[in-house]
Amino acid sequence: MENSNEYKYRRAKERVGAIKSFYNNLLAYCIVIPFLAWVNYNTTGFPWVIFPALGWGIGLVGHWANAYGYNPILGKNWEERKIKELMNSNDF
């Protein structure tokens, strides 16, 4: 029973760390991209700020999905279901 609680605590701590990391990344995005847009507006006529905003934005969506356990391909809680399946299997 103690191992189960320890496992849950470790998983919860990892999830909280991932969520905290996501919000730090989001905060940096909200600071850096407007600054880059300001630099872009004051230097050139070509809207190059779109490229870092889209690239970082795609990475931010991936970071969000990882932090909150969202996986559109494998579904919710796929990892836990697979672990239980393998633990109950006699062949494993």
pTM of the model: 0.75
Tell me the mean pLDDT in the region 8-37.
Answer: 95
Residue 68 phi/psi, 5° resolution? -100, 10
Average pLDDT score over residue span 66-92? 78
To the nearest whole percent, how much of the chain has pLDDT over 90? 54
Higher pLDDT, 75 or 38: 38
Would you say residue 8 has pLDDT above 90?
Answer: no
CA distances from 92 to 77, 79, 87, 89 (A): 21, 16, 7, 6
